[in-house]
Chains A and B, each alone.
Chain A
Amino acid sequence: MAPALLLFAFVVLVPSARGVYYAFTDWDGLDPHFDFVGLDNFAAMFRDADAVQAIWHTLLIAVSITVVQNAIGLLLALGVNSAIKSRNLLRVFLFAPAVITPIVTAYLWRNLLGPDGAVNSLFGAVGLDSWRQDWLGSPDLALWAVVGVIVWQFAGYSMVIFLAGLQSVPQEIHEAAALDGAGPVRRFWSVTRPLLAPAFTINLMLSIIGGIKLFDQVYALTGGGPGHATDTLSTLIYKDAFTLGEFGYSIALAVVLTIIVAVASTGQYVLLARGERAAS
């Protein structure tokens, strides 16, 4: 047990604890002399419009991804869990984007979503010229473009987890419900949905935590721009530490990120555990 605990303590516990301490200092990352500044970094954060905006973007992205990705993932899972002939092929194919390096898919999409990119070309080719946009260059659209790219990549991941849940629903229960006269919608709501509760727990947890920590895709797609229109807590942490040298402030942002992750995951866990108990 000791090697695992030592590695874990060295890489996660001790640096995290030091991080919390540095959040109350004005450390610049290099100078061994730094001062304890109390809550100054946190007070500065709430006066810093960029930071407040980044917190808002982080929450908005996490919630949007969670809702859209899981809705699409569930629909795909229901589609693939039917009698269609291509179901095995589709499952392998639709999941494939989830294993590709996120930074690579992000650079691919940066080109596709450009003014002369494939997405606009496609709209032009089917006569929807009015839909052509500078997707990543517009402050109003860029955030939603980022959400779209992530949903494209990970909807198949949600699908696979829902599918495992669906396949654990015994066929006899469905047939019994059908014999009793329940239609497909009623069967989904009363039979399938309660039994999918564990899959919902895993999926919502993965997407909300992944959304809150989001860095790679924003870095590659927009770099947080245009302006600060897509900056998230993670991109701001990186910029403040490594381009501005404000380690103390940057780590204070990381502490806020930690608190958001902790609140979101425990809150969700408690809610969903209650839901699972009610369903069973």
Chain B
Amino acid sequence: MNRYRSRTLALELVMIAVALIVGFPVYVLVNLAVRPASDTSSPIAPTGSPTLDNFSHAWQQGGLGGALANSVLVTACSVVIVLAVSSLAAYPLARITARWSRGTYLLVLLGLVLPFQLASLPLYQTMRDLGLLGTPWALVLFYSGLQVPFTVFLYVGFLRAMPKDFEDAALIDGCTPLQSFRHVVLPMLKPITVTALVLNAVAVWNDFFTPLLYLSGSAQQTMPVAIAGFVGQYVTDWNLIFAALVISVLPVLLVYFLLQRSIINGFAGGLRG
């Protein structure tokens, strides 16, 4: 049934045409980013005199190095904290069937429905009182809590589908519950941890609203906020802006193409969670 026929060839050509349409904006992005300001020909015509000057200008004037470092710091710290606390919390929530355990899990799931717009304004005031406003730690603290419900949800779904036999055997052999978690359960959680890692890292790295609120007016920036500031400053200098966009996209796409299998499986993995 899966033979290659003329209809398959037609489908192949249609799909490649679709891919070209999807890729068209990326072509224009690169084309304008390598174009000197003097080249004012149509944005879809390939430039005759490509240059890399825009990239060095954008890098220096946009403070993109500092922003990149902050984004890496915030994403790495937040994801490590969220995965650690959520997996530890999910274990008893998935295994204990008492009423308090179910109630707690429902309370955590409530966090999936609450939009962060509701919490972010009162929290703005708390962050200010704590002196965290304008520091990357405000973001680490925020994401470490914000991403708990979703991550716990992923882990609990996975744990409930996992047989209990190995843990029971470990307990009979004299392990404490914590030892059984560390040596028996944790190694088996690897697939869902990859999923949770990917989804959390992408969500934190790409978030714009939170750093816009909690970092505004400070010298600290993450990549998305730095880009927005850059666009505000160089309003019409699109060649320079596009160079900055390319710089911000490059690390993300690089990681994506290197780890595409785990990343795509991570996104599709929500289906089984």
Using a CB–CB cutoff of 8 Å, the interface residues on chain A facing chain B are 1, 3-5, 7-13, 15-16, 18-20, 22, 29, 76, 79-80, 82-86, 90-105, 107-109, 111-112, 116-118, 121-122, 125, 152, 156-157, 160-161, 163-165, 171, 174-175, 178, 198-199, 202, 212-213, 215-216, 219-220, 233-234, 237-238, 241-242, 247, 250-251, 254-255, 257-258, 261-262, 265-266
Contacts and interface: CB of A to CB of B under 8 A. Distances in A.
Given A11-B142, A76-B15, 16 more contacts: A1-B89, A8-B148, A15-B121, A18-B122, A29-B121, A83-B2, A84-B12, A84-B15, A99-B202, A101-B249, A161-B271, A219-B228, A258-B118, A261-B113, A261-B114, A261-B115
Interface stretch (B46-54, B164-172, B203-211): B203-211
Interface in B6-32: 8, 11-12, 14-16, 18-19, 22-25, 28-29, 32
A216 to B, nearest CB: 5
17 contacts: A4-B86, A4-B108, A8-B148, A11-B141, A22-B121, A76-B15, A96-B257, A97-B22, A99-B252, A99-B256, A108-B242, A108-B245, A118-B24, A161-B268, A164-B268, A199-B271, A258-B114
Contacts of A233: 117
Nearest to B257: A92
A112 B223 CA distance: 22
B194 interface: no
Nearest to B228: A103
Contacts, number: 248
A157 B267 contact: yes
B220 to A, nearest CB: 17
B196 to A, nearest CB: 13
Interface string B202-242: 10011011001100100000011001100100000010011
A101 B248 contact: yes
Nearest to B16: A86
A265 to B, nearest CB: 6
Contacts of A102: 206, 208
Interface of B: 1-4, 8, 11-12, 14-16, 18-19, 22-25, 28-29, 32, 42-44, 81, 85-86, 88-89, 92-93, 104, 107-108, 110-126, 141-142, 144-146, 148-149, 152, 202, 205-206, 208-209, 212-213, 216, 223-224, 227-228, 231, 238, 241-242, 245, 248-249, 252-253, 256-257, 260, 263-264, 267-268, 270-271
